[in-house]
Chains A and B, each alone.
Chain A
Amino acid sequence: MQLKTNNQSMLQKIAPFIGLILIIVIITALNPGFLSVSNLMNVLRQVSINALIAFGMTFVILTGGIDLSVGATLALTGAVTAGMMASGIDPIFAMLLGLLLGAVLGAINGFIIAKGKVAPFIATLATMTIYRGLTLVYTDGRPISGLGDSLTFQMLGKGYFLGIPVPVVTMIISFGVLYFILKKTTFGRRVYAVGGNEEASILSGINADRIKIYVYSLLGLLAALASLILTSRLNSAQPTAGEMFELDAIAAVVLGGTSLTGGRGWIVGTLIGALIIGVLNNGLNLIGVPSFFQQVVKGAVILLAVLLDRKKTA
C-alpha cells in the first residue's frame, strides 16, 4: 500500500521531466538545429526571467495562494530602478533599492491577504492594476533609457560567466538557494504546512500570517531581480514590461506538478515547467509554426499536462 503511494508520487514527480524530454525529441526530429549549443544557451536565457518569477510563484502557490501582480511588480521596479540610474544615482545602489522595492510590493500583497483576509486572487488583481498604473504614472507611459554604462548592470542581462549567460547563472544560483530553503529550513517546511492545512498549522503554533507575508515578499524580490535582468538586456525600462508574465509563471508552476490548492509540489518541477514553456517558445519558432498558431499549441500543451495530472491524482 505504502509502496504504491510512493511509486505514484514518484511517477507524478518525474512526469513533467518525461514531458520535457518528449517535446525536445519531437522538436529535434523536426529541426536538429535545436540542439546546437548556441540555441540551447539562447533557450536558457529566454527561460531565466520566467523561471525566476516561477520559483517565487511556487512558494506562493504552495501556501495555497496566487499572485497576479508579479508582471506589474516587475514593470514598476524596473522603471523605478531605471529612473534612478538615469538620474545618476549609483547603479549598484539603485539596483539594491529596486530589489527592496520588489520585496516591499510583495509584502504589501502578503499583508492584504494575511491580515486583511482578502482572497489572493482578488487582492493581487487589485494590486496588479495599481502597480501597473503607478508604472504608467511614473514613466508617463514612455520607456526610460540612458542608463549609463555600469559594468555590473550591463553584465546582469548581457554578460557571460565561463561561457554561460549571466541570467542563466543567476537562475541556477537562485534555484539552488530556493531549493535548499524549501527542503532544509523550518521556513520551507512551514510553507508546505500552511498550504497543506492552515488550521492545523496555526494550532501547532505556526504564525501562518507571517509565512504568507514572507512568500509574497520573496516573490516580489524575485520579480524585481527578473526586472533588472530584463532592463539590462533591453538597456531600457518599458512601462508595458512583464505583461502576462504572471500567467507564464503560474503555467510553469502548474506544469511542474505543484497543486494550486497548496501544500503539494516542488521547485524542481517548476524549473522543468519553465523549461517546457521556453523550449516550446523556441522550438515552435524553429520548426516554423506560424506565430499566431504557437499560442494555440502552448495552451493545448498546458491543458493536456494538467488534465493528465488530474487523472493521476483522481
Chain B
Amino acid sequence: MINMTDISKSFSGNKVLKNVHFTLEKGEIHALMGENGAGKSTLMKIMSGIYTRDSGTVEVKGEQVNFTSPKQAEEAGIAVIHQELNILPHLSIADNLFLGREETIGRTGILKTKQMEKKTRQILGDLGLDINPSDPASTLSVGKQQIVEIAKALSVDAEVIIMDEPTAALTDREIDSLFKTIRELQKRGVSFIYISHRMEEIFSLCDRITILRDGEFVGERKISETSFDEIVQMMVGRELGERFPERNSEIGEVKLSVKGLKRKDCFEDISFELRRGEVLSIAGLMGAGRTEVAQSLFGYKKLDGGTIEFDGKQVKIDTPRKAKEMGIGYVTEDRKSEGLVVDFSVEENVSMTNFAAISKNGLISKDKERKLYDTMVKRLGIRTSGPDQAAKSLSGGNQQKVVIAKWLGIEPKLLILDEPTRGVDVGAKKEIYSIINELAERGVAILMISSELPEVIGMADRVLVMHEGKITADLPKQEMTQERIMHFATGGGKLAVEDQ
C-alpha cells in the first residue's frame, strides 16, 4: 500500500530522521512506536504531505509520489486523524461530516440540509453510531467525535487512516467501540497506522509494528511474533555509555516535602520528599499529570488540596512570583511558548527573572545587566553571536541553556526542569546534564520531569513514575530499569512482583 524507503529529514541542521523505512500493507493495522522525539510524527507528516522529505522515496500503491501539500495526500487516499480533533463544536454533526464539501442545490450555495442529515445518519449508523445528525457536535463524547472524524476520512475515500494517540482522551468503553470500528473497516480493506504509547492496545489491535528511535529505524515485527519486553527494549535500549557525566553530590536534608497534592482532573494523592543535592525525576507518559504537578508547585496552577513544606516550613505558593522569591526556579517544558520571549535578545531574556539583581529603584543598570549576561554565557557555554542576538535565532540547545540561565541568576534552592533536553542535540544534552550535576553538587534540589527513560536512569537518584495523575512507583537508583519504568508508566502494577 505504502512503501517509504531511506527517508531523511533535518530541521535547521538537526537530523530528525535518518534513512527510515516504513511499509504498510493493504488492510493491516500497523503500529508505530518510539519515545517522544523518536521521529514518529515527522515521518507521518511526510507521509501526509505536511513536510517534504530531504531524501528517500515514497510509493503509494506502487507509484512514486511527492506530496507537497496535505491536499495531495488526501487525494491519494491518506487521511490523518490528529490528537486534537477537527470538530467544530457548535455546528451540527451533519455539518461537521460534510464540512468543505457540502451538498447544495446546483451551484447556488443553498444547502440540502435534509439530504445531508439523512446521509449522516446512514454513514454513522454503518459505523455503529446511533445519533441525531442535527444535534451540535459538542453533544457527542470525544470517542464519538473520533468516529465522526473517521467517517469524514472515509467519505473522501481514504484507504489509509493515520491515527495519532487516538485513545488518549477516551474511556475504556469508548476505546472498545473505537477498536470495533477500526476492525470492521479493516475487513473492508482500509489500512491504519496507529501511533500510541499504550502497549496493551497495540497488542490487542495491531498486526505489525515499526519502531523508531532517535530518528532511526530500529526494526519491524509481527505482533504475533514479538513480546512486550522486546518492544520496550527496542524502543529504549541503547548504550548509556558516557552520555551521562558523573556526579558527586551529597544528598542532604529535606528541602521540599509535599503531601496529598491534588488538582481536579489532573492529579491526586501526590506525596514525595526532595532533598538538598538530590536529583528526583518524574517519569511517565505525556498527559500523566507531571507538568501540572510542576506548574502547581511553582504557583502557576492552583492546587485543590494537599500541603507543601519548603525548608521545613509549611508554605502556600500561589503565584510564580512567590515561588521565585522563595528560591524556586522552573525551566518550562515548551521553551518557545513558556520559557522565552523570542523577540527579546538573549540578554533581555536572561534579565527577565533577575530584575532585582540588575536594577535599582526601577532603573536597569546596563553594566549589571551585561555582567549577568557575561557570567551566564560563560558558565553555561551558551553560543551566541552577542548579547543582542534574538533568542529566536538560537539553536534549540542554546535556547534551552538561556532558559536555564534565567533561573541560575536567582541562585535557586530548588530547580524544576520540565523535559530539559527535548529537541536538543546530543552534544548539548550532555552539557545540560553537566549543568544539572553541577547544580546538585552545589546543593540545589533538582526535580526533573522527563519522558526519556535513558535520561531518567542516567541522571536521577530516584524516580517517581506517574500514570493518569497518580504516582504508581517510587524507585531508587538501583531499582530503575527502563522496562520497569515503562511498565509503571503504562499503568501496569504486577510486573514488579514477577520481576523479583
Contacts and interface: CB of A to CB of B under 8 A. Distances in A.
Nearest to B330: A203
Contact of A204 (B325, B337, B353, B389): B353
Interface string A171-192: 0000000000000111101101
B390 A5 contact: yes
Nearest to A181: B362
Contact of B339 (A5, A192, A196, A200): A200
A197 B320 contact: no
Nearest to A183: B364
A256 interface: no
B337 A200 contact: yes
Contact of B355 (A1, A2, A189, A203): A189
A201 B393 contact: no
Contacts of A203: 298, 300, 320, 330, 332, 338-339
Interface residues of A, number: 25
Interface in B380-402: 385-386, 388-390, 393
Contact of B393 (A5, A184, A189, A190): A5
Interface string B330-373: 10100001111111100010011101000100111000000000
A196 B324 contact: no
A205 to B, nearest CB: 4
The interface centre, meaning the residue of A186, A190, A205, A263 with most chain B CB atoms within 10 A of its CB, is: A205
A206 interface: yes
Contact of B321 (A184, A197, A199, A207): A207
A271 to B, nearest CB: 22
Contacts of A205: 319-321, 323-325, 353
B406 interface: yes
B355 A192 contact: no
B223 to A, nearest CB: 42
A233 interface: no
Nearest to B337: A199
Nearest to A210: B321
Nearest to B353: A204
A206 B348 CA distance: 14
A184 B338 contact: no
Main secondary structure of the interface of A (DSSP, over half): helix
B342 A187 contact: no
Contact of B352 (A1, A5, A199, A201): A201
Contact of A199 (B324, B338, B386, B388): B338
Contacts of B353: 204-205
A2 B385 CA distance: 8
Nearest to A190: B355
A197 B355 contact: no
Contacts of A264: 343
Contacts of A207: 319, 321
B493 to A, nearest CB: 35
B329 to A, nearest CB: 10
A193 B341 contact: yes
B364 A189 contact: yes
Contact of A196 (B319, B342, B362, B363): B342
Interface string A83-101: 0000000000000000000
A203 B362 CA distance: 20
B216 to A, nearest CB: 30
A126 interface: no
Nearest to B339: A200
Contacts of B341: 192-193, 196-197, 200-201, 263
Nearest to A199: B338
Nearest to B298: A203
B337 A202 contact: no
B395 to A, nearest CB: 12
Nearest to B325: A205
Interface string B290-327: 00000000101000000000000000000111011100
A263 B337 contact: no
A224 B330 CA distance: 42
Given A200-B339, A203-B339, A205-B321, A193 B364 contact: no
A96 B340 CA distance: 41
A206 B393 contact: no
A6 B390 CA distance: 9
A131 B367 CA distance: 45
Interface of B: 298, 300, 319-321, 323-325, 330, 332, 337-344, 348, 351-353, 355, 359, 362-364, 385-386, 388-390, 393, 406
9 contacts: A184-B363, A186-B355, A186-B363, A196-B342, A197-B338, A197-B340, A197-B342, A202-B320, A203-B330
Given A197-B341, A200-B340, A202-B300, 8 more contacts: A2-B385, A185-B362, A189-B352, A193-B348, A203-B320, A203-B338, A205-B325, A206-B352
Interface of A: 1-2, 5-6, 184-187, 189-190, 192-193, 196-197, 199-207, 263-264
